[in-house]
Amino acid sequence: MLFVGPPGSGKSMLASRLPSILPPLSTAELLEVSMIHSVAGQLSGGKLSDRRPYRTPHHSATMAALVGGGMRARPGEVSLAHHGVLFLDELPEFSPQALDALRQPLESGECVIARANHRVSYPASIQLVAAMNPCRCGMAGEPGHTCARGPRCVADYQGRISGPLLDRIDIRLDVPAVSAADLIRPTTAEKSADVALRVARARERQRERFEAAGMKGISTNARCSTSMIETIAEPDAAGLQLLRDAAEKMKFSARGYHRVLKVARTLADLDDKQTVGRIHLAEAISYRIAGERLTAAA
């Protein structure tokens, strides 16, 4: 997930709230997380918690700090966020080498550290959440503000993120600035507890679906195979036509096509629907369209 918006629009706040709507760690997940933190020397006092990890490395973090490494090949931030959330604030400020090192963990769910005399693999099944300003000055596109360098500033800043990495980000959202009126007269919103309950039910549906299919090692749509998602997320006729038109117009890659299906299947699970409908595909596609300007810049 990628949030794009000016400073103070609430990108970091949204990311920090995500763990509160995720279900607690299962017993097996808790053991995996605890073992990784123990290897990294970060299991303080031997205490265990069923709260999902939330890691927020600074943008000065090196490639080894993110994906692991060093003389003794210790786990990095990606593995320490296993079964949880890895939040990268000011995404373009990270070094390009460090960001591109995330491509393999996002695809395979593990970090492989190879050295001349040994090879180590650490699990890294994470939810990547990132935030960035639209340009270096931060206010491009906002009413009443003019970027000093114009479109060049936007292109140069967003171009620091490679296209292959962006292709692995399923949801891209524009976060507009918060006005004084928004703060003075806040609207009623759904409670986090209600959202968490809906997420837990959707997760349980997914787990049961994959267990019935004999895939006990998979519990979320994000981790299922491409052949499996084509089966469980087969859209209705209207949705199939919409997906075909969108894929042709926006030139989806094979990865992008299957990731749209995974997001749409998850949206249907949240709605407690057996079939992926046109409305779910339209929403999944809209999340990908929001970042098309980033892909073009990269």
Which string of DSSP letters, residue by residue, matches 5-71? --TTSSHHHHHHHGGGGSPPPPHHHHHHHHHHHHHTT--GGG----SPPEE---TT--HHHHH-BTT
Amino acid at 58: H
Average pLDDT over residues 234-245: 89
First to last CA, the chain: 17
pLDDT of the residue at 297: 45
Of the candidate ranges 1-5, 39-43, 135-139, 246-250, the one whose mean pLDDT is the lowest: 135-139
DSSP structural state of residue 196: H
Report the CATH superfamily, name and number, of domain 2-186.
P-loop containing nucleotide triphosphate hydrolases (3.40.50.300)
Element (H, E) at 130: strand 127-132
- Structure tokens given for 152: 């060049």
| Per-residue pLDDT tens digits for 123-160 | 999 999 999 998 888 777 676 677 777 778 888 888 89
Would you say residue 217 has pLDDT above 70?
yes
Average the pLDDT over 7-33 and give the result: 91
Instruction: Indicate left, alpha or beta for 46 from its phi (over 0: left) and psi (-120 to 50: alpha).
Output: left
pLDDT in tens, 40-64: 888 877 777 888 999 999 999 999 9
For the chain, the residue count is 298
What per-residue confidence (pLDDT) applies to 209?
93
The domain spans of the chain are: 2-186, 192-295
pLDDT tens readout for residues 156-190? 888 899 989 999 999 999 888 887 777 787 677 88
Greater model confidence, 154 or 287: 287
Asked if pLDDT for residue 293 goes beyond 90, the answer is no
